[in-house]
């Protein structure tokens, strides 16, 4: 999940940077530094029998720092999603209930990805027959790695006419376990869908990419 999130964000930001590159810029360098943690927690019992119904939360905290020609942009985020879960033979089914997002988050990630913790308050809009209203969901979680780091690094070169884009990236992630507290109630992580801690770095060089 963390890899997908980073890849999607990287592509979106690259697209914005490419569109914003001035016609006179022969070379533009953009650097990305990201860190994040994903906590997937539930009240589903261990070894629950088919037919058991429970809930699960997915909390994702991240901070991305973008530097382009001396200009620094920071993109913090904390999202929360709630699901209804039904245990079936050999697995489970989920139904999305609600989700929300905030750009105010406290996040700490160890350099070696051994542990991470995050906290914030996510506003959730919920609607019923009486209308829609906002409920604030305080969220905090703490994770400790339980496996070695997995690495994904590489270099990609793309050419479009005279425009050349060189993308170097390095992604590290570790599976983790722990717990999360949502609106005062604490839920443990689950091995069925592992939580994770990650860090990413990326350097994108645009050469002769006129607008």
Q: State pLDDT tens for residues 160-199.
A: 989 999 999 999 999 999 999 999 999 999 999 999 999 9
163 has which bridge partners? 160
**Confidence class of residue 20 from pLDDT cuts 50, 70 and 90?**
very low
What's the average model confidence in pLDDT over 134-143?
A: 97
pLDDT per position as a tens digit, 75-95: 999 999 999 999 999 899 999
For position 2, what pLDDT does the model report? 41
Residue 177 sits in which domain range? Answer: 2-207
**Of all helices (H) and strands (E), which one includes residue 10?**
helix 2-20
Question: Are the C-beta atoms of 85 and 53 separated by less than 8 Å?
Answer: yes
For position 47, what pLDDT does the model report? 87
Number of H helices, E strands in the chain: 1, 11
For residue 1, the SS3 value is coil
The structural domain count of the chain equals 1
**How many residues are given for the chain?**
211
- Report how far residue 52's alpha carbon sits from residue 45's, in angstroms, rounded to the nearest whole number: 9
Question: pTM for the whole thing?
Answer: 0.82
- Report how far residue 14's alpha carbon sits from residue 9's, in angstroms, rounded to the nearest whole number: 8
For position 211, what pLDDT does the model report? 56
For position 25, what pLDDT does the model report? 55
Would you say residue 45 has pLDDT above 70? Answer: yes
What's the average model confidence in pLDDT over 60-70?
A: 93
What's the average model confidence in pLDDT over 115-126?
A: 96
Nearest to 198 by CA among 180, 181, 177, 176: 176
For position 210, what pLDDT does the model report? 72
């Amino acid at each position: 999940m963390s890899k997908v999130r980073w890849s999607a964000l990287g592509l979106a930001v690259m697209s914005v940077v490419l569109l914003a590159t001035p016609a006179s810029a022969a070379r533009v360098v953009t650097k990305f530094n990201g860190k994040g943690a994903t906590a997937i927690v539930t009240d589903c019992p261990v070894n629950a029998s088919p037919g058991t119904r429970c809930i699960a939360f997915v909390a994702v905290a991240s901070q991305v720092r973008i530097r382009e020609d001396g200009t620094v942009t920071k993109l913090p985020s904390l999202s929360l999603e709630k699901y209804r879960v039904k245990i079936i033979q050999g697995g489970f089914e989920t139904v999305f209930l609600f989700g929300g997002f905030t750009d105010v988050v406290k996040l700490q990630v160890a350099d070696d990805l051994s542990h991470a913790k995050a906290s914030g308050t996510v506003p959730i809009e919920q609607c019923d027959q009486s209308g829609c209203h906002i409920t604030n969901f305080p969220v905090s979680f703490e994770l400790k790695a339980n496996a070695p780091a997995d690495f994904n690094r590489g270099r990609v070169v793309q050419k479009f006419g005279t425009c050349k884009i060189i993308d170097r990236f390095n992604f590290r992630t570790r599976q983790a376990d722990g717990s999360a507290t949502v609106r005062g109630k604490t839920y443990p992580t689950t091995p069925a869908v592992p939580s994770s801690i990650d860090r990413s770095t990326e350097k994108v060089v645009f050469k002769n990419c006129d607008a």
